[in-house]
Each structure stands twice: as C-alpha cells, then as structure tokens.
Amino acid sequence: MSDESLLVRDLGEHGLLEKLQRFCPQDIIGDDGAILATTPNKSLVVTTDVLVDGVHFSDRTTTAFDVGWRATAANLSDLAAMGATPLGITVGLSLPGKKLVSWVEKLYQGISACLRDYQTPLVGGDICRSAVTSIAITALGEVIPQQAIRRSQARLGDAIVITGLHGLSRGGLELLQNPGKGDNLEPVERDRMIQAHQRPKPRLDLLPYLAKISQEIAIAGMDSSDGLADAIRQICRYSGVGAVIDRGPAIFPGLIKLAGFSKAREWMLYGGEDFELVLCLPQNYALNLVRDLGGDAAIIGKITEVPEIKLVDSNKLVTELDIDREFRHF
Amino acid sequence: MSDESLLVRDLGEHGLLEKLQRFCPQDIIGDDGAILATTPNKSLVVTTDVLVDGVHFSDRTTTAFDVGWRATAANLSDLAAMGATPLGITVGLSLPGKKLVSWVEKLYQGISACLRDYQTPLVGGDICRSAVTSIAITALGEVIPQQAIRRSQARLGDAIVITGLHGLSRGGLELLQNPGKGDNLEPVERDRMIQAHQRPKPRLDLLPYLAKISQEIAIAGMDSSDGLADAIRQICRYSGVGAVIDRGPAIFPGLIKLAGFSKAREWMLYGGEDFELVLCLPQNYALNLVRDLGGDAAIIGKITEVPEIKLVDSNKLVTELDIDREFRHF
C-alpha cells in the first residue's frame, strides 16, 4: 500500500498507470489494446456505464472499494441480463490531481474483488485528469446469438419472473445516510440491506439455468438496475405488450420495519440498483425456473395484450403503474 | 436539428438518449448491451481512451464535431496499431446539464462521420450528468492472434519504419491558437496542418499490407499518438532493445516555415497526436513496405542491442533522445 498522503499528481499519469497495471493479467500490458480469445459460435456482447462522483456515488456513503465493486457489479449485471458470459472489462478513469493514490488503489481493489468472484479479467483502461472523478466501465461478454435475452421478446401470456428481493439497496442507502434510523431492525436485516447497497451481486449465477431454457424458447428480460417498475415498463415498451402484476412481489420484512409498508412498497417498485433480473417466459418454463431457484425467484404477473401496466393489489384494487417515476440523471 | 438554445437538462437523460440512438444501428437499440458478430479464427482487441474538456480538447480550438472525430480517430488508431480490424465503438459521455443539446448532437455527428469513413458502427453508450464534459471511448476490433502487432516484438537489426509525417498536428494546434501566425505559409500548407490536428486519420488503410507481412513474420509497433519519440521509446522498452535513428525523419516544409527548424524538429519528435504508425520489421520487409506505400512511409533507423536511443544527425552529431519529455496529464 502506498503512503497514505500521496496524491495522484505526485505520481503522474505514467506512475499511476504502472501502479494500476498489477490489477491486469500480466500478458496484456504494454500494447495499445488487449487481446482476448473468444468462443467461435458466440457473438460479442458490449455494454457501457459511466459513474460520476456526486451523482452515482459519494464518499459519504460509499468507500472507494465499494465504488469499484458496485460499478463492476452493475456492468456484469448488464451482461447477465443479456444471458452473456463475461470476457473482461475496461475502466476509463477521470481523476482530479489532488485525489489520493490510496483512494484509486482501493477503487481498483474493489473492482478486482468483484471481478474475481465472477472469474473476469480487467483487460484495459485509461486514466486522465479531470476536476470531477468519473468511472466509465465497458463490459464485454459473449452469448450464442439465438440465446440472447432481449427486452423485445415478451409475448402474450408469458409469466413475469423476478429474482431475489427488491428495494433492499434503497433501504441500505437510507440506513447509510441516516445512521440513527432503523433501531427496530435485527442486525441481520440491517446488514443485508447495507450489503445490498454496497456490494450488490450481479445474477451471473442464473446463466446456466437461462442457457438451458433459451435453447428451447426465447426469454425476454433485463436487469432491475433502474427499478423493478422501470424494467417491466421497458420490456412492455420494446415488446409492444402490457402487463398485469397480480401478486405483489414479496417485500423484505426489514424494509417495512425501516420505512413502513407504503414507503417500502414504493422502494420495492421504484428504488432501483437491486441488480436482479426481470424475465418473461412461458408459464411452464417460468414455474420450472422458480422451482429450480428455490425461494430466490417468484412469478409476479403476466404479459397482456393491451399496452398498459396494471398492479392488482391483494384487495383487488387496480392501479396503474406510475410510469413517469424514473431515474433522472440531469 | 434541435432548437439551438435547448439544454441537456431540458431534455433529461432519456430524452437525450433517444435523440442519440439514431446514431446507432437500429437493431442494437433497447437492450442492456449490444450484440456483435465476430470472426471465428480471430481474437478480440479492446482499447479505451478518456478525453476531458480542458485537458484534451477545448471549445477555443476544437468544434464539437472535431472533438467527436478526433476521439474516434484516436481509438481506431489504437486498433490499427495492433493490426486489428474495427468491430465497433462505445461512447460513455459525462455532461453538465447546461451543455447545449446541439453541442452533443454535433459531437455525435463527428463520431459518426469518422466511423463512417472506416465502416465501423457505434454499438453502445451511456450518458450522465457531471460538472465536466468527458468522453470515454472503448473501441473493439479483431485480429488473427498470431498476427497481432505488439510493442514487445522488436528484434535486433529490425528497420524502424514510420508512416506519414510527424509534427503536423502540433503545427495545426499552433495555428489555431495563434491565428496571426504563419503568414508565410501557402494556404495548402496551413490547411494540411490544421486538418492534421482537427481530423486526423487512423492508419487503418495499412491493415492489408500489415496482415500480409505478419503472416510470415511478427511486426513490432504502436501508433505515435503520444509522439514519435515516445513510440520509439515504448517499443524499445517493451522489447528490451535500443535504437539508432540515423536518418532524420522528413520534416514538413510548412512546419519549418511556421516555427523554424529547431522547433519544427522538436514538434516532429515530441508533438504527438499524429496517429501515424511506428513499425519494426526485418530490413527486406521494411524496404518492400516502404516501396508499396510510395512516399507515405520511410525507414528512419534500426533496432540495436544496447538499450539506449541515439539520434544521429546528418552532420553525424550523436545525441540521446530526450526520453523524459512526454505527455503529463496530471
């Protein structure tokens, strides 16, 4: 570890690059680009995300390690959402000269820790000076083209399956921003929400299940990074269909204890950054998938013809999904 | 074209993304990632660059169109430097909300114009809010792995070949920053230097020649984006060799008229951003390549055993290459 007071501008671009190269496989260092082997029958999948200090992360709620982890997880989640196996990521980093070198090293440690969990290499990058810290990650993966999961493939009658629980990341953020809140939570509930916010897990563990299904039928889907409601809305929009959500998705009990039922339900639908998958597939495949995944997935509704999205509450009150609520980054 | 006064924040992230999607092939829009077909016997080549407002470009010398062109050309040049054929690029854009939408559209027009010249698609991107405009581009290409050009492959006795002319981009920058300068230049000389700065051309036109040679022997090389001297230094460093530059590379006459011989020579060696190729290959292959390229390439020296770089002037004065001169971005 470097001297804790060393600044980026003390090292310079070349010095910092040399320090960061140890996070890359040694055989790809030195050239203008990295060379990666691919699988002959697969197509390349590419996805890019930009994260900006003060917009997507802040030192107040997120350590440098966690910024790296989350940025990496978000991009690997985009690959999982397409049914693609990761090949590698690149990191383009903009930094003020007065940033601590130790911050940058911790960022890369977080990136590397997440990549290690999913056997994915860091295959390239660039660093440069800027008044604002920002991180642009491009993730590369591969998928048999006929088996790719796409938003546009939902069909009338498909069951809507969601993995995991939603709203936990938003609950974790609330706890981090307001340390006094949530006295009534069990430590395990608190930890789980904070963990969901700081160290989300891309659902690459689902790939073997999805690959098996998509040999037989097309799966529609995406991840819920911008919220569960947004994912359903995007799938319906690109597939030209509607949806009825007729079983309220399960709400994590700790979330209700933290925020009350009404707010917990709002965070569950609109909170975002849960990085779970929202999938549409024929009823029998959906039932098998949910069974195979144990308690980790649920059918929450089905695809309908009329292009509108209805939430049917347990007391049969029908409401329209509030489709104007979404992330606004400007 | 949009209303000239429309700001990014007026449109919001989704509105702006929709506007920019027309620069992408229509079949890749809508999913978390783009899907690209690859060639079975080739490996993937990946390269990333980040450009920041005020560091790599400025409204004073560069229009939005040219910022887009240059950023794209720089990344395609990295692919050319590896001997790789482009597959596509992604663009991660950070923008202040007060940026004009028309600026962003012109940026994308510049990106698209450069991509069009090299039959390369824009395959993905992200936009987000930031106090500072920055552009992170990742370029994807493919190459038969045994035929990749690498910095580490220079061998004792190799000839050093450079394409094109060096220092022109730096001369163009001088003319743009000091419109009063260069009264003694012919219009064609002035235009050529300004063009070299604003619309550099990645040397993808060399790929067929290089592919043919690299079927037989390994080529060492990189592009001269950080300067001709830097390229020679990097190749020597990664190959564990030295070099003697015994024929001064030709200097563009307009550059000498603009800045005098001494400064012109300095810009030729250290100016950077010419995006030409610096290649090391056996003498007979080098001679054939230079002949095939007509006046567009020259042998300027050879690879030596002792790990130092010597410039032998025409009057036989031997000087060491000033290896500490390099871009410092922090």
Spatial contact of A312 and A246, defined as CB atoms under 8 Å apart: yes
Instruction: Give the residue, B4 or A133, on which the prediction is more confident.
Output: A133
Residue A11: per-residue pLDDT: 87
Residue A328: per-residue pLDDT: 40
- Furthest-apart CA pair in chain B: how many Å? 64
Residues of A with CB below 8 A from B44's CB? 35-38, 44, 87, 140
Helix (H) or strand (E) holding B100, with range, is: none
Interface of B with A in 267-306 (CB under 8 A): none
What one-letter code names the amino acid at A238?
Y
Q: List the single residue in B31, B38, B50 with the smallest CB-CB distance to A136.
A: B50
* A144 pLDDT above the threshold of 90: yes
CA end-to-end distance (rounded Å), chain A: 37
C-alpha distance from B92 to closest chain A C-alpha (Å): 6
User: A132: which 2 tokens?
Assistant: 């604002």
Q: What is the DSSP letter of B305?
A: S
Other C-beta atoms closer than 10 Å to the C-beta of B67 total 24
Helices A101-117 and A64-82: angle between axes, nearest 10 degrees: 30
Instruction: Give the residue, B55 or B279, on which the prediction is more confident.
Output: B279
Parallel, antiparallel, or unpaired: how do β-strands B297-304 and B242-245 relate? antiparallel
Q: List the single residue in A84, A124, A329 with the smallest CB-CB distance to B33.
A: A84
Tens of pLDDT, residues A14-53: 788 888 888 888 776 767 788 898 998 999 999 999 999 9
Nearest-Cα residue of chain A relative to residue B54: A130
* A122 pLDDT above the threshold of 50: yes
Residues of B with CB below 8 A from A88's CB? 46
% of chain B beyond a pLDDT of 90: 75
Tens of pLDDT, residues B87-112: 999 999 999 999 999 999 999 999 99
Helix (H) or strand (E) holding A11, with range, is: helix A8-20
Cα A194 from chain centroid (whole Å): 15
Would an 8 Å CB–CB cutoff place A81 in contact with chain B?
yes
Residue A217: per-residue pLDDT: 97
Would an 8 Å CB–CB cutoff place B226 in contact with chain A?
no
**What's the whole-number mean pLDDT along residues A208-220?**
97
The b-or-e profile of B168-181 (16+ CB within 10 A means b, else e) is bbbbbbbbbeeeee
Q: What is the DSSP letter of B41?
A: T
CA-to-CA distance for B51 and A16, rounded, in angstroms?
17
CA-to-CA distance for A47 and A82, rounded, in angstroms?
10
User: B128: which 2 tokens?
Assistant: 């987000």
Residue B327: per-residue pLDDT: 39
CA-to-CA distance for B200 and B73, rounded, in angstroms?
6
User: B124: which 2 tokens?
Assistant: 């993905």
pTM above 0.80, yes or no: yes
Tens of pLDDT, residues A159-208: 999 999 999 999 999 999 998 999 999 999 999 999 999 999 999 999 99
Would an 8 Å CB–CB cutoff place A240 in contact with chain B?
no
Tens of pLDDT, residues B120-134: 999 988 888 899 999
Residue A327: per-residue pLDDT: 39
* A315 pLDDT above the threshold of 70: no
CA-to-CA distance for B122 and A152, rounded, in angstroms?
20
User: B152: which 2 tokens?
Assistant: 């580490």
Would an 8 Å CB–CB cutoff place B21 in contact with chain A?
no
- What lies within 8 Å, CB to CB, of A156 at 6+ separation is A241, A303, A304, A305
Nearest-Cα residue of chain B relative to residue A139: B33
Parallel, antiparallel, or unpaired: how do β-strands A220-223 and A277-281 relate? antiparallel
Helix (H) or strand (E) holding A1, with range, is: none
Torsions phi, psi of B194, nearest 5? -65, -40
C-alpha distance from B37 to closest chain A C-alpha (Å): 5
**What's the whole-number mean pLDDT along residues B317-321?**
63
Residues of A with CB below 8 A from B88's CB? 46
Residues of B with CB below 8 A from A124's CB? 46-48, 138
Mean pLDDT, chain B, whole residue set: 90
Interface test with B, best of A11, A44, A53 (most B CBs within 10 A): A44
Would an 8 Å CB–CB cutoff place A129 in contact with chain B?
yes
Tens of pLDDT, residues A71-116: 999 999 999 999 999 999 999 999 999 999 999 999 999 999 999 9
Interface test with A, best of B138, B152, B238 (most A CBs within 10 A): B138
Residues of B with CB below 8 A from A145's CB? 35, 37
Torsions phi, psi of B314, nearest 5? -60, -30
Q: What ranges make up the beta strands (E) of A26-112?
A: 34-36, 43-52, 85-95
Question: Confidence class of residue B326 from pLDDT cuts 50, 70 and 90?
Answer: very low
Interface of B with A in 138-167 (CB under 8 A): 138-141, 143, 145, 148, 150-152
Other C-beta atoms closer than 10 Å to the C-beta of B326 total 18
CB pairs under 8 A between A and B: 248
CA-to-CA distance for A181 and B71, rounded, in angstroms?
47
* B309 pLDDT above the threshold of 60: yes
All domains in chain A, ordered by first residue: 8-144 (3.30.1330.10), 149-320 (3.90.650.10)
CA-to-CA distance for B90 and B17, rounded, in angstroms?
13
Would an 8 Å CB–CB cutoff place A1 in contact with chain B?
no
- What lies within 8 Å, CB to CB, of B24 at 6+ separation is B34, B121, B122, B123, B124, B125
Spatial contact of A142 and A83, defined as CB atoms under 8 Å apart: no
* A1 pLDDT above the threshold of 60: no
CA-to-CA distance for A100 and A16, rounded, in angstroms?
11
Q: Which residues pair with B88 in a beta bridge?
A: B140
